[in-house]
Chains A and B, each alone.
Chain A
Amino acid sequence: MDGIRLDIRFERAEARYAGRTVLQPLDLALSERRIGVIGLNGSGKTTFARMINGLVTPAAGRVTVNGFDTATETESARRQTGFIFQNPQNQIILPILREDIALGLQARKLAKPDVRAAVDAVLSRFGIGHLADRRSHELSGGELQLAALASVMVTEPAILIMDEPTNQLDLKNRRLVVETMQGLNETVIAISHDLELIAGFDRLLLFHEGRLAADGAPAEVIRHYRDIASA
């Protein structure tokens, strides 16, 4: 994946919700392999991440992912990005893991043998082949995160957005998810309150009250975040 060019651009992109501006006009270009997004609750970080996937379209300005406009070329932009939601339970549509992972490929009208091969490959990639025929409510928090990851990565997006990937996980499951995340070749954008998780990232973005308050190396941005949090 190292050879794949990543280019996410925000050009005066602004988000509004119910008449209120939740993300002030933002100019930004992202190309790093590991990008962390931090901020207090309600600071605009999830809106920012959702704009990359086209789940939130800009009220003004534009967002492009590898040249595809998320508002007008949504399907192409989405093929570049996978999104793992805060609650993986809501992301898994079908009860049996194998069937759920297959959904994304079936939507692309792949032949059944190809779907089966791709599902087996992604299950094996994330070491969850033994969970293939299990029901999602029988899985632990960490296994659920890996299941959600497999259901997204089966369509081979170049960019993976993770919203609070270690939220509500015990130490064992957290380690499982962190190790898996570290092993990914794809670009990862993680929204997280888990500062330990993102401390080693290439770049951190700090959002505060709907604005980008800091952008740079983790140590410096985390210091800024602590100042805001303690104010």
Chain B
Amino acid sequence: MRTLYVEGRSVLHRMPPRAKLLGLATASIVLFATRSIPLLGMFCVASAAVYLLPRLAPREAFERLRPVLLTIVVVGLFTLLFDSAIEAAVFVLRLTSLMLLAAAVTATTGISAFMEEITRLAMPLERIGLVRAADIGLAVGLVIRFVPEVLARTQAIRDAHHARGLKPRMLTLAVPMIILTLGSADEIAAAIDARGLRGQN
């Protein structure tokens, strides 16, 4: 099981998870409160600097963001085609900044610290009987845990294509990846039940 967490002692590593999550939430509100391209540009550069704080190798830093970056570029191009260059620039700068900040938070916060914090934040909802806070924490932890798994699985399927002399295509990559992921999700759900990790009072 690979992880998005990067070992380190940067300022971000030392910050409590709650401060990082609140900072991320505040940044997302600020980003959507402005349409000034120079301001958004500066925000984007600052976010990139924050993302590089954990001292990731340049290649890994880029590889981690590639799938999301690709989505942002595609949607940005559509906005450019069907709306205006300004709208496209605003969209790309906003989402790129958010992506960089969110990636910085996941790179400097261990899954267990995340789960603990989310569980604590969900406690008010548990007190009014809406949810079990620990289940929410576990669910968020599993999402973070699954991201590198899905990426690794996609790479393995891509390698299998190359080994057989086949050209990877979207459909032939996506179908086995979804089937394998669902199979492993079933097994993990069974393990969670077997270990009594949820639904306890």
Contact = CB atoms under 8 A, between A and B. Distances in A.
Interface of A: 50, 53-55, 75, 78-79, 82-83, 85, 87, 89-96, 99, 102-104, 106-109, 135-137, 151-152, 155
Interface of B: 1-3, 5, 110-112, 134, 138, 141-142, 145, 184, 187-188, 190-200
Nearest to A92: B1
Closest 9 CB pairs of A and B: A83-B194, A99-B112, A90-B187, A95-B3, A91-B191, A107-B197, A136-B1, A104-B195, A90-B188
A5 B197 CA distance: 25
Given A103-B197, A107-B134, A107-B197, A95 B1 contact: yes
Nearest to B194: A83
Given A87-B187, A103-B197, A107-B134, A93 B192 contact: yes
A93 B141 contact: yes
Nearest to A161: B194
B196 A53 contact: no
A135 B1 contact: yes
Contacts of B110: 95-96, 99
28 contacts: A75-B199, A75-B200, A78-B194, A79-B196, A82-B195, A83-B194, A85-B187, A85-B194, A87-B187, A90-B187, A90-B188, A90-B191, A91-B188, A93-B142, A93-B192, A93-B197, A94-B112, A95-B111, A96-B110, A96-B112, A99-B111, A103-B197, A104-B196, A106-B134, A108-B196, A135-B3, A136-B1, A155-B195
A99 B3 CA distance: 14
A93 B199 contact: no
Contacts of B5: 95
A141 to B, nearest CB: 14
A103 B145 CA distance: 14
Nearest to B5: A95
A93 B194 contact: no
Main secondary structure of the interface of B (DSSP, over half): helix
A107 B141 CA distance: 14
Contacts of B190: 50, 55, 85
B60 to A, nearest CB: 15
Given A53-B194, A85-B191, A99-B111, 15 more contacts: A55-B190, A83-B195, A90-B184, A91-B187, A92-B1, A94-B145, A102-B112, A104-B195, A107-B134, A107-B200, A108-B196, A135-B3, A136-B1, A137-B1, A155-B195
Contacts of B196: 75, 78-79, 104, 107-108, 155
Nearest to A144: B1
A113 to B, nearest CB: 16
Contacts of B194: 53, 55, 78, 82-83, 85, 152
A55 B184 contact: no
B141 A94 contact: yes
A93 B191 contact: yes
Contacts of A93: 138, 141-142, 145, 188, 191-192, 197
Contacts of B145: 93-95
Contacts of B142: 93
Nearest to B152: A137
A151 B195 contact: yes
A96 to B, nearest CB: 7
Nearest to B191: A91
B134 to A, nearest CB: 7
Nearest to B111: A94
A152 B194 CA distance: 9
Nearest to A148: B191
A106 B113 CA distance: 13
A152 B112 contact: no
Nearest to A90: B187
Residue from the set B138, B141, B188 with the largest chain A CB neighbour count within 10 Å: B188
